[in-house]
């Protein structure tokens, strides 16, 4: 896991004032948090290019320096992410005569590209962003994982082509930054799709076999993602999604710790502590630092590169968990992100006229909302966060299930609840969805603070929105980020005014917290 950056000269008459190495080091310096301090600025400088990483050693921790350069072809790669089916693909490539010098997924990506070309992308099960450079013909190939768990940005400024893992890395160098879309690769200045979220429903599926298959695929997903000798941290709210991840991680790894954010007596903390006690899992509890909330909000906007109040609230909350992991020396984390989108967990699904369209909207929007938050806040704390619910095999299967499998009158996420009803207690499988800030006891603290920062706005970036949104957007612009023409989230589809859940769901929680006695 890394922060990656690269500069390529695309003209035969390059800018003589551009110092490739110095500029690369400057870019990497702005995202130094994405790697271990002792691995800052690993780089290679070519005649017309510079490539480098800030590396967080996870696989082959001592010998996996980047860029990795193939001695025969001269191709070089920088890679951010993890390939979970690494061993399987190594065996296939080896059977075709491909030789490996090590065992890293960085080398695997390059070997796979040289052997299969761009079709290698359809074979990877993992989270990734990478850039491959051929010095021989000065060509660049870049790609991003299917749903956009790992970020990658690019810009052309004069004769220089820039790439970096975060927007902030390119501020000051260009005003024309673009994002490589999820499920796309970049070549010769153009993006092309290699994957699209399917809208096809499989009419042959029956409910019980689908629930059983869901259980099986989640077991496999977590088992793959905890295949390491390093300790594992799990972001644990005490809700269904994170409870499944924690339960499975503890099943397949010997050193797992739960990290929960919440004030004493909050819903998340009550459920999290009970569950961890019953399973004998260590739990670490933290809370959001309220000492200088306005400064914390500003920092979260800069770090997360987001302007939506909901995202900022969740970023502040989850930062508390990741910062504790960093203190404890945790480098790998798991979270339950993506489950509510895939399994129709939000209360919006109950009243939606077209639940399938809503599901597809939320999955396709993950890369610039929840997944961006998780990536930035985890990497800011030098932690790699993996998302088992977005495993390639699981997504491909669940996306084909009918919507009536997921939503009932009394509960959302019905299929997922039933898939783990025999392994988890019913106070977990029957727990309704609650927004992170509500469950942790933070409530509307961030919304209210954003609302009050500047109450008399003359020039609103979003004229029809409230002060919380516009104050956040103005801070976002102060850091040099460019606002989109329209918000990424839509009220009624992505959030209710002031929060995620309905008052009905909140009341259910109050009753459960006051008497959490049901046993599974």
pLDDT digits (tens, 9 = 90+) for 415-434: 999 999 999 999 999 998 87
- Please tell me whether residues 189 and 211 are part of one structural domain: no
> What mean pLDDT do residues 302-331 have?
95
- Please tell me whether residues 217 and 165 are part of one structural domain: no
Q: Which has the higher per-residue pLDDT, 253 or 520?
A: 253
Which residues touch 326 (CB under 8 Å, ≥6 apart)?
Answer: 381, 382, 383
Length of the chain, please? 520
518 lies in some domain: no
Confidence tier at 53 by pLDDT (50, 70, 90): very high
- Please tell me whether residues 109 and 27 are part of one structural domain: yes
Q: What are phi and psi of 451, to 5 degrees?
A: -65, -35
Check whether 290 has a pLDDT greater than 50: yes
243 lies in some domain: yes
Q: CA angle, 25 as apex, 24 and 31 as ends, to 5°?
A: 100
- Please tell me whether residues 277 and 350 are part of one structural domain: yes
- Please tell me whether residues 15 and 127 are part of one structural domain: yes
The residue among 165, 193, 221 that closes a domain is: 193
pLDDT reported for residue 1: 64
The residue among 420, 452, 484 that closes a domain is: 452
Check whether 219 has a pLDDT greater than 80: yes
For residue 340, give its domain range.
207-452
256 lies in some domain: yes
Selection from 34-48, 55-69, 420-434 with the highest mean pLDDT: 420-434
Residue 254: both structure tokens together: 């010997």
Lowest-confidence segment of 249-258, 385-394, 456-465 by average pLDDT? 456-465
> What mean pLDDT do residues 14-28 have?
90
CA distances from 514 to 53, 223, 238, 273, 509 (A): 50, 35, 15, 15, 8
Lowest-confidence segment of 39-53, 189-203, 220-234 by average pLDDT? 39-53
Q: Which DSSP string corresponds to 459-472?
A: S-SSTTS-HHHHHH
Confidence tier at 476 by pLDDT (50, 70, 90): very high
- Please tell me whether residues 320 and 343 are part of one structural domain: yes
In the chain, the number of structural domains is 2
DSSP state of 484: P
CA 22 to CA 515: how far, in whole Å?
A: 61
Cis peptide before 67 (omega within 30 of 0): yes
pLDDT reported for residue 177: 94
pLDDT reported for residue 60: 54
467 lies in some domain: no
425 lies in some domain: yes
pLDDT tens digits for range 372-425:
999 999 999 999 999 999 999 999 999 999 999 999 877 899 999 999 999 999
305 lies in some domain: yes
CA 24 to CA 7: how far, in whole Å?
A: 7
The residue among 152, 170, 193 that closes a domain is: 193
Check whether 519 has a pLDDT greater than 70: no
Instruction: Give me the percent of the chain exceeding a pLDDT of 70.
Output: 92
Confidence tier at 517 by pLDDT (50, 70, 90): very low
Which residues touch 20 (CB under 8 Å, ≥6 apart)?
Answer: 7, 9, 45, 49, 50
Confidence tier at 513 by pLDDT (50, 70, 90): very low
If you search the block for the tokens 């065992």, which residue do you land on? 103
320 lies in some domain: yes
Contact indicator for 325, 259 with CB cutoff of 8 Å = yes
DSSP state of 159: T
CA 303 to CA 31: how far, in whole Å?
A: 10
Q: Which has the higher per-residue pLDDT, 393 or 18?
A: 393
Question: Average pLDDT, whole number, for the chain?
Answer: 90
283 lies in some domain: yes
């Amino acid at each position: 896991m890394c922060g990656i950056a690269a500069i390529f000269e695309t003209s035969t008459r390059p800018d003589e004032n551009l110092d490739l190495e110095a500029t690369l080091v400057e870019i990497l310096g702005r995202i130094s948090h994405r790697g271990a301090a002792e691995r800052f600025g690993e780089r290679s400088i070519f005649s017309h290019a510079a490539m480098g990483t800030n590396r967080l050693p996870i696989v082959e921790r001592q010998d996996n320096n980047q860029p990795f350069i193939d001695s025969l072809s001269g191709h070089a790669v920088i890679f951010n992410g993890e390939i979970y089916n690494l061993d399987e693909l190594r065996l296939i490539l080896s059977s075709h005569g491909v030789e490996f010098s090590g065992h890293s997924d960085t080398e695997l990506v390059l070997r796979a590209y040289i052997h299969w070309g761009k079709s290698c992308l359809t074979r990877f099960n993992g989270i990734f962003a990478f850039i491959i450079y051929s010095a021989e013909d000065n060509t660049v190939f870049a790609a991003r994982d299917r749903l956009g768990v790992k970020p990658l940005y690019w810009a052309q400024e004069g004769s220089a082509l820039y790439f970096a893992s975060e927007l902030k890395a390119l501020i000051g160098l260009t005003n024309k930054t673009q994002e490589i879309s999820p499920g796309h690769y970049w070549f010769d200045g153009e993006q092309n799709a290699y994957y699209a979220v399917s809208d096809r429903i499989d009419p042959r599926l029956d409910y019980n076999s689908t629930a059983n298959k869901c259980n099986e695929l989640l077991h496999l997903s977590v088992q793959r993602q905890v295949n390491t000798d390093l300790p594992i941290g799990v972001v644990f709210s005490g809700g269904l999604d994170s409870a499944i991840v924690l339960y499975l991680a503890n099943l397949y790894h010997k050193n797992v710790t739960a990290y929960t954010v919440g004030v004493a007596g909050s819903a998340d903390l009550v459920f999290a502590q009970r569950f961890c006690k019953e399973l004998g899992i260590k739990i670490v509890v933290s809370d959001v630092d309220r000492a200088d909330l306005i400064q914390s909000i500003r920092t979260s906007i800069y770090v997360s590169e987001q302007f939506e109040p909901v995202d900022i609230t969740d970023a502040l909350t989850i930062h508390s968990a990741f910062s504790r992991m960093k203190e404890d020396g945790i480098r790998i984390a798991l979270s339950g992100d993506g489950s509510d989108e895939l399994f129709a967990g939000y209360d919006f699904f109950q009243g939606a006229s077209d639940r399938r369209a809503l599901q597809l909207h939320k999955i396709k929007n993950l890369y610039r909302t929840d997944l961006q938050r998780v990536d930035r806040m985890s990497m800011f704390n030098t932690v790699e966060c993996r998302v088992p619910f977005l495993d390639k095999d699981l997504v491909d299967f669940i996306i084909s299930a009918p919507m009536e499998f997921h939503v009932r009158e009394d509960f959302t996420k019905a299929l997922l609840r039933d898939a783990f009803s025999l392994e988890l207690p019913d106070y977990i499988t029957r727990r309704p969805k609650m927004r992170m800030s509500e469950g942790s006891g933070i409530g509307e603290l961030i919304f209210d603070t954003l609302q009050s920062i500047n109450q008399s706005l003359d020039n609103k970036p979003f004229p029809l929105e409230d002060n919380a949104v516009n104050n956040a957007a103005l801070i976002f612009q102060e850091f040099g980020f460019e606002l989109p023409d329209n918000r990424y989230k839509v009220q009624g589809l992505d959030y209710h005014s002031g929060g995620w859940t309905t008052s009905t769901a909140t009341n259910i929680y109050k009753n459960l917290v006051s008497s959490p006695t049901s046993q599974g």
